[in-house]
Amino acid sequence: MLRKFSFLYLTIIFLGCSPQKEPVAIDLNELTVADIHAAYKEGQYTSEQLVAAYLERIEQENNKLNALTVINPKALEIAATLDRELEEKGVLRPLHGIPMIVKDNFNTKGMETTAGALALKDFIPEEDAFMVDQLVKAGAIILAKSNMAEWAFSPMHTESSTFGTTRNPYNTDHVPAGSSGGTAAAIANNIGVIGLGTDTGNSIRGPSSHCSLVGFRSTLGLTSRSGVVPLYLRNDVAGPMMRTVEDATRVLEVIAGYDPQDPLTKYSEGKIPDNYQQYLQKDGLNGARIGVLRELSENDPNPEIKVLFEQAIQDLQSLGAEIVDTVAVPDFSNLRRNQWCDMFRQDIEDYLATYVNRDTMKTLEDIVRVGTTSEYAREGVEYFLTASGRSPNPEIECLDPYTDERRIAFREAIEKRMDELRLDAIIYPSWNHQPALIDSFQTQYRGDNSQIIAPHTGQPAFTVPMGFTSGNLPAGLQFLGRMYSEPTLVKLTYAYEQGTLHRVPPK
């Protein structure tokens, strides 16, 4: 159940804080940042009225999906403050008055942050996570928190002990993938504009692919993870899950940069352009060289996904790209192996000590003691009681992508091949199979390509809608780039998106 603020209560706040603002009818279907800012400038509606409209939509839609966990009780108050600022200054911040859905593993000041787990139930952080703070300072309004796979363990489905199971808005018998499925379901169903997720192996790109969204997993080191409940910090990335490449790019522009609390972001210094929006070019595929990684796309694909992928290749060609088919990375099958390291105990205990600071919640054993209602999460937590480091080569230290020898070797092999073939990006389906049925997600879990490269090499990988298969189930096309090649990926994905327009809202 959505906790614990009814729309009636919020309406009272709304009417109380600015009674002169009458509710207006706003079409929330596929609204973008540009649409909203144009409406604010033209006086069509205020931020307060927009937030009220989204809160009403939550009341109507969330029970079908179970996407959201808790509404921000101050959302209307914040919107009213931003309206007064615009009236006084006449200037819009970059994300002024844009409603935002935040995954439940981001610290949010004054709002419960549980990571889907009973061990963190009723934990209310004192400060926002660094990324959330950046977006709030840019004018974004936290509308609500979103459900997630407990502790972000599952790439397959989105089930938590705190809020239950989230459904795919395109077909509610199916999963939205995990672990950021709540954000994906909400944004896909037009319950908010900005969506924030996290991606350890799949969890931005998988749910985005399953829900016909754009998902940016940026270069490891480009954006901060401080104040985010970790799974494996050596792999974790936080970032946007949006309906359009343009809006995801606007968010990336705000969140990219150095955070003293996340040392990995030091690597980003000198690698960030003045702005990313300059790369939103409809002709961005003209002259681009795109490589096809058949080693992934031909790994037992669903026939319908294969048809969509081959059509995507043709579309890229028709939009001006030169296709290099097939890209063979030397020793790929060996280099991809033994990249994972079990770091959950170390990372979660650091988080508990830094942010939660409770005598009764310090260790992984404390988490096990509190328990879970999810059998999947229980097995995961108990696994980490004994699992640690890299297996089967524990002698190889588990480090970040800039210092870990296996990660560096994997990345160098890919980027060297890209250099030899003069490739701007490599493509493959984000998933080779359709979203699984909720009741059989484990037996139907196949074809997750997002886990294989970017989480280990640190390279950026963006997914964009590629069309639909039978059952009204979305599919995604993934673009992999070199380290810090976000400008190139923005240009390529925007041109593909604008040239195909596969994104449609759920019926």
- Position 1 scores a pLDDT of 56
- Position 2 scores a pLDDT of 66
Residue 433 corresponds to which tokens in the numbers above? 């199979």
Cα–Cα distance, 159 to 352 (Å, whole number):
22
Q: Measured between alpha carbons, how far apart are the two ends of the chain, in Å?
A: 23
Map out the domains of the chain as residue ranges: 7-278, 285-338+397-459
Do 201 and 178 form a contact (C-beta atoms < 8 A)?
Answer: no
The residue written with tokens 């079908």 in the block is 64
How much of the chain is helix, strand and coil, in % rounded to 5? 40, 15, 45
324 beta partners: 291
- Cβ neighbors of 345 (< 8 A, separation 6 or more) are 364, 384, 385, 388
| Helix or strand holding residue 85 (H, E) | helix 75-89
The DSSP code sequence of 430-445 is SBSSPPPBGGGTTTT-
Q: Which residue in 47, 180, 203, 224 is the catalytic one?
A: 203
pLDDT, one tens digit per residue, over 246-294 is: 999 999 999 999 999 999 999 999 999 999 999 999 999 999 999 999 9
- Cβ neighbors of 506 (< 8 A, separation 6 or more) are 169, 170, 188, 189, 472
What are the mean pLDDT values of the chain's consecutive 10-residue runs (507 residues total)?
Answer: 46 41 85 98 98 98 97 98 98 98 98 98 97 98 98 98 98 98 98 98 98 99 98 98 99 98 98 97 98 98 98 98 97 97 97 97 98 96 95 90 97 98 98 96 93 98 98 98 98 99 96
Cis preceding-peptide flag for 392 (omega within 30 of 0): yes
The DSSP code sequence of 5-64 is --HHHHHHHHHHH-TT--------TT--HHHHHHHHHHTS--HHHHHHHHHHHHHHHHHH
pLDDT, one tens digit per residue, over 416-438 is: 999 999 999 999 999 999 999 99
Question: How, if at all, do strands 214-217 and 461-469 pair?
Answer: antiparallel
Cα–Cα distance, 497 to 451 (Å, whole number):
23
Active-site annotation holds for 160: no
Active-site annotation holds for 179: yes
**Rg of the chain, C-alpha, whole Å:** 21
Cα–Cα distance, 93 to 455 (Å, whole number):
33
Question: Which strands, in side-by-side order, build the sheet including 99-103?
Answer: 68-71, 141-146, 99-103, 194-199, 237-242, 214-217, 461-469, 473-480, 425-429, 289-292, 322-324
Handedness of CA 305, 307, 310, 315 (dihedral sign): negative
CA dist list (Å): 429 to 250, 302, 358, 438, 494:
25, 11, 43, 22, 17
Cα–Cα distance, 60 to 51 (Å, whole number):
14
Q: pTM for the complete prediction?
A: 0.95
- Position 13 scores a pLDDT of 40
| E strand intervals along 270-358 | 289-292, 322-324
Q: Which residue in 21, 47, 103, 491 is the catalytic one?
A: 103
- Cβ neighbors of 242 (< 8 A, separation 6 or more) are 187, 193, 194, 195, 213, 214, 215, 248, 251
Active-site annotation holds for 103: yes
Residue 243 corresponds to which tokens in the numbers above? 């309906």
Q: Which residue in 161, 179, 209, 297 is the catalytic one?
A: 179
Q: Which CATH class is domain 7-278?
A: alpha beta
In the chain, the amino acid numbered 216 is: F
- Position 506 scores a pLDDT of 97
Q: What does residue 468 show for φ and ψ, rounded to 5 degrees?
A: -130, 145
Q: Using alpha carbons only, what angle is made at residue 451 by residues 446 and 452, rounded to the nearest 5 degrees?
A: 100
- Position 22 scores a pLDDT of 67
| E strand intervals along 95-190 | 99-103, 141-146, 159-160, 164-165
Residue 179 corresponds to which tokens in the numbers above? 């672990």
